[in-house]
């Protein structure tokens, strides 16, 4: 860690290097407001063709109740691109042998005292009479799951702030139906018993993005923005970054281009936009990178986006891929300033992927915000296998955005539901007015991605601890109970999304009816997603975990293991057993 390095004084020597060579040759119910409700426990929706843009502007309740510089240390003396490098030797930085750096990181990993995570205030139950609408942005990030795995594999329970339940649930692919027509995703809904609170019901929404085959992927303009500061020396940082990016480069073709920008004390363009068919040139440029110096991430971000814009592909994929431990310590270091910078850059049409690496000084809080505000996705790469999952197995989902600013709004029927709680998504909550406001940013869905959200609901008339501190309302009883909608519909699910290059949203709407399904008779995908959510609540020591235990989570998840070609679910069971041992429980 830089904080462990002894301060030394070094006079800055201006040095201009001309590096020449590699890169000069540069490569099924139709959703609508009038759609009839389905009585099935597992409602699947195929989106209609020719869906018109919605002109809705207000809220209507369905269930009414009354100059480029770079630190010389980042690249060795071998020939490279024509780029001017300015040498800077920060006073508080020095080179540390790789072995020493790894040893120190392992000592720091024992406490993780320098890692930063945002405090998560868990969603509470809300009464339907007071809050009939629940609104949030979708999230396809998976960083929390692989980060939790890293903690458990290192023999530690993760801090509560590292556990984002929606990212645990969405780490896994689910067998949801694919979309039909001209819309980018299909919606699947299911209601069954809640395993951790038998008096409650659980609602699961599943979105499935359209699948794009590798040979149908649009051309990509990619800029790798690589952190080569001193903190990236460890084998699980820059060396793993190189291995991960090599996996990605090997999957690209002649329709794609790659540029490489790096930052340490300052930033530089190591490789201008180069056809991906010249893989040896790209890989050679990455292999020569060395870690050293402090971290001016803001300057690197500026350079990466300007490079992406200079080679912008209309109708293609334009994306910056940031690989870092998130430890920005010179230049723009304030988190709010970095977020504002990314928000401004996102207006360019260039999307962002944030890949986190390393431990000890890991800055999860910063990287999650950059991805959220940069029209991006966020993954944590703890192993070579995880790099393969994100950059090979899920390549099109990582690179190709099929819908942006995807928002969900649920209206609960007070005749059927007394209270509800969204499980996870705490930092994705939106005001009810934001749903119809196209200027409000929301999450993106990549090709083939699945997105899952869970609501725990208290049926009307059920005594529950969730309502223990709420007096019955005298003047807000629901009316019109004779209508079919009030007597049979549990909720209406509404979604808004924009095309990747669009500015106006489209709206989908699905009424959902109750079923008599128990948890035991629910689908395997419902059972597994519920088990993963319960695991997250146990790790967070949630007050809402009910009767959940690690042994129960393993029992709930086990039936779904049979549909586990990749082995992800089997690994989940192993992590559950590790967590049980660390927690001293079964």
Architecture (CATH level 2) of domain 122-212+402-465+480-520 = Sandwich (2.60)
Query: CA gyration radius for the chain?
Result: 25
Position 487 scores a pLDDT of 72
Is 11 in contact with 88 (CB distance < 8 Å)? no
Position 95 scores a pLDDT of 32
CA distance 446 to 400: 5
CA distance 421 to 429: 12
Span 317-355, pLDDT tens digits = 999 999 999 887 655 656 778 888 898 888 899 999 999
Position 181 scores a pLDDT of 84
Is 407 in contact with 135 (CB distance < 8 Å)? yes
Is 403 in contact with 444 (CB distance < 8 Å)? yes
- Domain borders along the chain are 122-212+402-465+480-520, 214-399
Strands 376-380 and 351-356: parallel
Residues 6+ apart with CB under 8 A from 482: none
CA distance 503 to 496: 12
Give the E-state strand segments of 334-449 in sequence order: 351-356, 376-380, 401-412, 417-423, 443-446
CA distance 335 to 579: 32
Q: Quick one: three-class SS letters along 407-437?
A: EEEEEECCCCEEEEEEECCHHHECCHHHHHC
Position 59 scores a pLDDT of 61
Position 113 scores a pLDDT of 58
Residues 6+ apart with CB under 8 A from 260: 223, 224, 226, 269, 270, 271, 282, 285, 286
Q: Quick check: helix, strand or coil at residue 300?
A: helix
Q: Of all residues in the chain, what percent are helix, strand and coil, respectively (each to 5)? A: 30, 25, 45
CA distance 360 to 380: 14
Give the E-state strand segments of 156-200 in sequence order: 185-193
Is 49 in contact with 30 (CB distance < 8 Å)? no
Burial class (CB in 10 A: 0-12, 13-18, 19+), 17: middle
Q: For the domain with range 214-399, which CATH number is right: 3.30.1380.10, 3.20.20.70, 3.40.50.410, 3.20.20.10? A: 3.40.50.410
Same fold for the pair 122-212+402-465+480-520 and 214-399: no
Is 367 in contact with 327 (CB distance < 8 Å)? no
Position 337 scores a pLDDT of 82
Average confidence (pLDDT) per 10 residues, the chain, 586 residues: 36 31 36 37 40 45 54 42 31 32 36 78 94 95 97 96 97 93 93 97 97 91 95 93 97 96 88 97 95 83 94 95 83 73 90 93 89 92 96 94 96 95 97 96 94 97 78 61 69 96 94 94 97 98 97 96 87 97 81
Read off φ and ψ for residue 309, nearest 5 degrees.
Answer: -70, -30
Position 142 scores a pLDDT of 96
Position 258 scores a pLDDT of 98
Helix axes 568-583, 143-153, angle to 10 degrees: 50
Is 370 in contact with 352 (CB distance < 8 Å)? yes
Q: With CA atoms as reference, report the closest residue to 234 among 120, 341, 336, 381.
A: 381
Give whole-number Cα distances, 57 to 7, 504, 506, 569, in Å. 58, 12, 12, 43
Burial class (CB in 10 A: 0-12, 13-18, 19+), 499: middle
Q: With CA atoms as reference, report the closest residue to 234 among 358, 123, 323.
A: 358
Q: Rounded to an integer, what is the distance from CA 413 to the centroid of its chain?
A: 30
Position 67 scores a pLDDT of 38
Is 454 in contact with 529 (CB distance < 8 Å)? yes
């Amino acid at each position: 860690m830089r904080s462990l390095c002894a301060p030394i004084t070094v006079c800055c020597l201006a040095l201009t290097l001309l590096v020449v060579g590699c890169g000069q040759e540069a490569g099924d119910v139709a959703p609508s407001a009038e759609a009839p409700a389905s009585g099935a426990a597992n409602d699947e929706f195929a989106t209609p063709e020719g869906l018109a843009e919605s002109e809705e502007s207000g809220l209507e309740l369905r269930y009414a109740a009354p100059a480029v510089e770079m630190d010389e240390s980042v690249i060795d003396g071998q020939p490279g691109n024509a780029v001017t490098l300015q040498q800077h030797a920060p006073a508080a930085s020095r080179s540390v042998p790789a072995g020493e750096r790894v040893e120190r990181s392992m000592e720091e990993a024992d406490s993780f005292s320098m890692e930063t995570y945002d405090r998560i205030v868990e969603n509470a139950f809300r009464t339907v009479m007071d809050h009939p609408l629940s609104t949030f942005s979708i999230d396809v990030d998976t960083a929390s799951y692989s980060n939790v795995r890293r903690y458990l594999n290192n023999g530690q329970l993760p801090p509560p702030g590292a556990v984002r339940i929606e990212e645990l649930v969405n780490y896994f692919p689910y067998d949801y139906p694919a979309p039909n027509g001209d819309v980018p995703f299909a919606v699947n809904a299911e209601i069954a018993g809640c395993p951790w609170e038998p008096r409650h019901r659980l609602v699961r929404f599943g979105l499935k993005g359209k699948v794009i085959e590798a040979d149908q992927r649009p051309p990509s303009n990619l800029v790798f923005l690589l952190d080569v500061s001193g903190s990236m020396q460890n084998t699980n940082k820059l060396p793993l970054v190189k291995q991960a990016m090599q996996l990605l480069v090997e999957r690209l073709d002649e329709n794609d281009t790659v540029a490489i920008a790096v930052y340490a004390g300052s930033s530089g363009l190591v490789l201008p936009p180069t056809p991906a068919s010249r893989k040896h040139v790209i890989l050679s440029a990455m292999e020569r990178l060395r870690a050293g110096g402090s971290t001016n991430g803001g300057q690197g971000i500026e350079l990466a986006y300007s490079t992406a814009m200079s080679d912008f592909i209309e109708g293609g994929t334009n994306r910056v891929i940031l690989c870092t431990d998130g430890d920005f310590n010179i230049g723009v270091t304030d988190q709010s300033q970095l977020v504002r910078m990314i928000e401004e850059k996102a207006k360019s049409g260039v999307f962002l992927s944030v890949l986190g690496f390393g431990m000890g000084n890991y800055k999860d809080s910063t990287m999650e915000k950059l991805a959220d505000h940069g029209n991006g996705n966020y993954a944590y790469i703890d192993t070579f296998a995880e790099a393969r999952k994100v950059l090979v197995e899920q390549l099109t989902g990582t690179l190709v955005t099929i819908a942006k600013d995807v928002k969900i709004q649920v209206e609960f029927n007070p005749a059927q539901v007394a209270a509800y709680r969204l499980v996870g998504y705490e930092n994705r909550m939106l005001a009810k007015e934001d749903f119809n406001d196209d200027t409000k940013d929301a999450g993106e869905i990549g090709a083939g991605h699945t997105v899952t959200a869970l609501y725990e609901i208290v049926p009307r008339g059920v005594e529950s601890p969730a309502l223990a501190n709420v007096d019955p309302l005298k003047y807000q009883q629901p009316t019109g109970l004779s209508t079919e909608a009030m007597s049979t519909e549990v909720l209406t699910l509404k979604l808004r999304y924009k095309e990747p290059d669009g500015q106006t949203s489209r709206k989908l709407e699905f009424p959902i009816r109750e079923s008599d399904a128990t948890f035991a008779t629910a689908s395997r995908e419902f059972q597994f997603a519920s088990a993963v959510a319960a695991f997250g609540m146990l790790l967070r020591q949630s007050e809402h975990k009910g009767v959940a235990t690690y042994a129960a989570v393993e029992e709930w998840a086990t039936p779904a293991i049979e549909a586990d070609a990749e082995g992800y679910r089997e690994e989940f069971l192993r992590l559950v057993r590790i967590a049980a041992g660390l927690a001293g429980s079964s």
